[in-house]
Amino acid sequence: MEILNIAAYKFVALDSLPALQAALVQALQARAIKGTVLLAEEGINLFLAGPSDDIHGFLAGLRADARFADLEVKESWSSAQPFRKLLVKIKPEIIRMNHPAIRPSAGRAPAVDARTLKRWLDSGQDDDGRPVVTLDTRNTYEVDAGTFSQAIDWRLEKFTEFPQALLDHRAQLQDKTVVSFCTGGIRCEKAAIFMQEAGLSHVYQLDGGILKYFEDCGQAHFDGECFVFDQRRGLDPALQPRVDARPTAPASRQ
């Protein structure tokens, strides 16, 4: 396992995106790093892989920029490079929702850490005795690879369908503690903010997503593997790539 894989995002106001794009391309091309970086005025989202020293060197340079100083990274390892090339793109959103008023950089929804969620799922209720449900904000093919036991799944084909699905099912979530989750945290963060604005009172996002949950809690309450958007296709709860049959990723992960 010689290749370090990292996943990270941060909602932060960014400007001069072409200049930032050029600087990141130069920094990544100077090292043996491949993967995808998405930039938007709302922040950064990245999935990268390379030798450990190269990854850590790149992160040190990135965190020297005050906007990314507290960037949190999820790590896993592979025996081969899972990405074919390097892409650094400028997009309207780092995760498309088509609701420009949802801006996490202006304030996050409450987050629950992995160990607290596990404790809640162990007992079936939160610390106030309220029933807890988990809400999968990912696409159908990701859910089919693995999800939390009894998680709510609205069979989303793309994340832009989430707002209408929430409005259609909002009454079912009233009086429950709802924990939204996704691969690394980015979609469930936007989802949790939207749920708050839709009038749900007890909403949390799973901090760090499934990848952080695997890191801290392993397989507890989770069935299957976590779909990832590279040639590994899926990670088991030990953050190791599976070698059995895996789903094929569509062209877009939005």
Quick: pLDDT tens for 134-192: 999 999 999 999 999 999 999 999 999 999 999 999 999 999 999 999 999 889 999 99
Which residue in 182, 188, 217, 226 is the catalytic one? 182
Domains of the chain: 3-90 (3.30.70.100), 104-235 (3.40.250.10)
Q: How far, CA to CA in Å, does 57 sit from each of 53, 61, 69, 171, 193?
A: 6, 6, 14, 48, 34
The helix or strand, by DSSP H or E, that contains position 73, with its residue range, turns out to be strand 73-78
Quick: pLDDT tens for 199-246: 998 999 999 999 999 999 999 999 999 999 888 889 999 999 875 434
Active-site residue flag, 188: no
User: Judging by DSSP bridges, how do beta strands 152-153 and 132-136 pair with one another?
Assistant: parallel
pTM: 0.83
Quick: pLDDT tens for 106-145: 667 789 999 999 999 999 999 999 999 999 999 999 999 9
C-alpha 155/C-alpha 134 separation (Å) is 14
Q: Which of 133, 39, 137, 155 is nearest to 93 (CA)?
A: 39
